[in-house]
Amino acid sequence: MNATDRTPADLLSSALAADPGRPLVTFYDDATGERVELSVATFANWVAKTANLLQDELSAEPGDRVALLLPAHWQTAVWLLACASVGVVADMAGDPAAADVVVSGPETLDAARACSGARIALALRPLGGRFPQPPQGFADYAVEVPGQGDRFVPYTPVAPEEPALIVAGREWTGAELVERARAQAAGLGLTGPGSRILSGLPYDTWEGLCAGLYAPLATGGSVVLCRHLERLDAGALDKRIEAERVTATAR
């Protein structure tokens, strides 16, 4: 990654320029058996489409707050980088009533209805599938995002010193987030390009976000992001670590 990268969106742009075909996020859901692998290019395409949805369809502007009521999931990672691309604040597990936009998984729809602004629902089904029946009062992400543009340009340049993330009650600017991810990467075992971390940590803490997204992105590494990892026994986990060529773990 480049030393001049100061926002999460900068990190993704550098990763795309360096090696678009390499894996970035490999996702497992051990409750459903799902496995999805996204290259840098595929991940960046999802981010661009989602950022266009935010900016053009939902009229989100820099400084707006987007409450993300989502688990550790590849689509959550997409939303985090889309928020960073637009310049809105991604509020992990934030209060929907205080948010301009809420993005909810299927298990938090009732809580998400407290948002008076735009509401987006994610079915979190394999391959990004849609809801069989869209939840009342929500737009279905899987219906809305495919038609969005594959390239994204923010109307206003994203300022590194502006708030970018709220997690566990702490607010981070884009620059702070990038700096901390770089500083903590080595301690997680991410030593540079080719490093691959398996993370079973939730996304509602900085530790989970750092291991499960930001530190791999900041170092040219990749993540094997596992939901419901507790369902694996030790032998199955060892096989996954070997098969995925994992070099570090965070559990």
What pLDDT, in 10s, does the model give residues 47-75? 999 999 999 999 999 999 999 999 999 99
Annotate the chain with DSSP letters as a single string: --TT--SHHHHHHHHHHH-TTSEEEEEEETTTTEEEEEEHHHHHHHHHHHHHIIIIIS---TT-EEEEE--S-HHHHHHHHHHHHHT-EEEET--GGG-SEEEE-TTSHHHHTT-SSEEEE----GGGPPPSSPPTT-EEHHHHSTTS-S----SSPPPTTSEEEEETTEEEEHHHHHHHHHHHHGGGT--STT-EEEE---SSSHHHHIIIIIHHHHHT-EEEEEESGGGS-HHHHHHHHHHTT--EEE-
User: pLDDT, tens digit, for every residue of 187-227?
Assistant: 999 999 999 999 999 999 999 999 999 999 999 999 999 99
Mean pLDDT, 10 residues at a time, the chain of 251 residues: 89 97 98 96 98 98 97 98 98 98 98 98 94 96 97 96 97 98 98 96 98 97 97 97 98 93
Q: What domains lie within the chain, and their CATH numbers?
A: 8-250 (3.40.50.12780)
